[in-house]
Amino acid sequence: MGCVNHPNAPVAATCKSCSATLCGICTKFLDSGEYCELCASLAEATAFRKTRERNEEERNVVMAQTTTARITEEEDREKARSKDGLYIRGGIGIASLMLFVSIGLYAFPDLTKSDAQLAEEQSITLLTQCREVFQAIGIMLSEGETPDSTQSCPGTNIPNIISRRGDTITVSHPNPRQFGLVELYVTSDSHRVVMEGLGQG
């Protein structure tokens, strides 16, 4: 058996995620291991999402600190007012608060991430979940069970398309185009989730 994409090329690696055999051209090297192109993009998207979640947590800490700073500043202003009417201290407090917030924005540019980027990440997340559904269907097929067409992917109510040819059962996604794919299916022959058309054209 050769590379999944180039059957005549010698196998250089096996995808850590889907176990596809890969030639040198098809192998993607990430810090976490060797992957096929699709699994590498999914792994990178997952890593990216984790970084974002971490940034979000840090941002919440900054927000909490900002709130604390504002309360302290209010108290300071009260003190200044009651003591000797030095209103200027409040002005300095607001200026330092604004500086603090702008440092926060600079450190966490995620706050200003465009809707298009968020939509793309969401689409990759959906595709990851969808692939898990199809992997589960593949396991059912490998155990000789007949899948249920209502076992659809998150983000769609349309049932999967089940077709039979001879002994082979194929379960296909009803709308792979939502992920920019030509085809997304699993068959009882290989049990492997096939995603065609990603990153091509």
Instruction: Catalog residues that contact Zn ion under the rule CB under 5 A.
Output: 3, 5-6, 15, 17-18, 20, 23, 26, 36, 39
Q: Based on CB atoms, which residue is closest to Zn ion, 39 or 169?
A: 39
C-beta of 95: minimal distance to Zn ion in Å?
53
Distance between CA atoms of residues 22 and 39, nearest Å: 12
**Residue 174 corresponds to which amino acid?**
P
C-beta of 180: minimal distance to Zn ion in Å?
18
Q: Based on CB atoms, which residue is closest to Zn ion, 27 or 77?
A: 27
The answer to whether the beta carbons of residues 171 and 137 sit under 8 Å apart is yes
Q: Based on CB atoms, which residue is closest to Zn ion, 39 or 137?
A: 39
Distance between CA atoms of residues 80 and 96, nearest Å: 17
C-beta of 41: minimal distance to Zn ion in Å?
10
Q: Based on CB atoms, which residue is closest to Zn ion, 20 or 93?
A: 20
Q: Based on CB atoms, which residue is closest to Zn ion, 40 or 171?
A: 40
C-beta of 69: minimal distance to Zn ion in Å?
48
Distance between CA atoms of residues 96 and 26, nearest Å: 53
C-beta of 38: minimal distance to Zn ion in Å?
6
